């Protein structure tokens, strides 16, 4: 692959529009058309040409996998079969009135909308974290170093914890949403004055 360099689809489109508009205005056909009609024709043709140029050019600098992991983020949703990953976690202290009972809850955003909403049933911790998780999923077979997820699921892999009570780590839909395409949540209950949990997650679009 060559050296990566940025391409802006809009710049290609503008360049093509300018050239087409000038050519049409100078032609016998264009002379009989209004400026607004010429602009409309140029815009339509330029859009198609720019898309072809952009797609062909970007393939010279990015692999298909890289395009799936970056360019798609600006499209409507994560493409089917593509796996995205990220990190989760943090530390929560209680209000100081008790030495136990701290509760940690947080949410995670996906890099682009999922094709379908994520619900409680498809956001789970890995089976390897069964001692701490309350919703472990045997289908989550990846690791912290190489997180994976089956189609349509979010899998969470714990990298570090402190004072998390057994069987309390839980992956959920975004609270109050009933299911969201934009992210998910997780929580854990502390066995001491704080609850600390960190890890990585993976999601594969169905």
DSSP notation for 157-192: EEEEEESBPTT-BEEESPTTTSSBSSEEEEEEEBSS
Q: Contact, 99 vs 194, CB < 8 A? A: no
Q: What domains does the chain contain, in order, with CATH numbers?
A: 9-62 (no CATH), 83-204 (2.60.40)
Q: What is the pLDDT tens value at each position of the chain, 206 positions in all? A: 444 444 444 444 444 445 555 554 555 544 555 556 545 655 555 555 555 555 665 566 556 665 555 544 545 789 899 999 999 988 776 655 555 566 778 899 999 999 999 999 999 999 888 888 888 899 999 999 999 999 999 999 999 888 787 888 899 999 888 889 999 999 888 777 677 889 999 999 99
* pTM greater than 0.75 (yes/no): no
Q: CA–CA separation, 32 vs 77, rounded Å? A: 43
pLDDT at 158: 92
């Amino acid at each position: 692959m060559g050296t990566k360099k940025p391409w802006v689809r809009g710049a290609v489109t503008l360049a093509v529009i300018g050239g087409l508009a000038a050519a049409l205005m100078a032609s016998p056909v264009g002379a009989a058309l209004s400026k607004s009609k010429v602009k409309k024709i140029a815009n339509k043709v330029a859009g198609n040409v720019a898309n072809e140029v952009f797609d062909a050019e970007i393939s010279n600098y990015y692999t298909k996998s890289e395009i799936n992991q970056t360019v798609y983020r600006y499209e409507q949703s994560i493409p089917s079969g593509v796996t995205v990953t990220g990190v989760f976690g943090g530390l929560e202290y209680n209000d100081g009135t008790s030495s136990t009972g701290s509760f940690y809850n947080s949410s995670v955003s996906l890099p682009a909308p999922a094709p379908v909403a994520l619900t409680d049933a498809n956001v789970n911790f890995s089976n390897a974290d069964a001692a701490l998780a309350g919703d472990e999923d045997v289908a989550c077979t990846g690791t912290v170093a190489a997180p994976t997820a089956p189609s349509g699921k979010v899998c969470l892999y714990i990298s570090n914890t402190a004072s998390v009570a057994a069987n309390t780590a839980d992956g959920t839909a975004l609270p109050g949403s009933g299911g969201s395409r934009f992210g998910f949540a997780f929580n854990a209950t502390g066995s001491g004055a704080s609850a600390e949990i960190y890890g990585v997650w993976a999601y594969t679009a169905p």
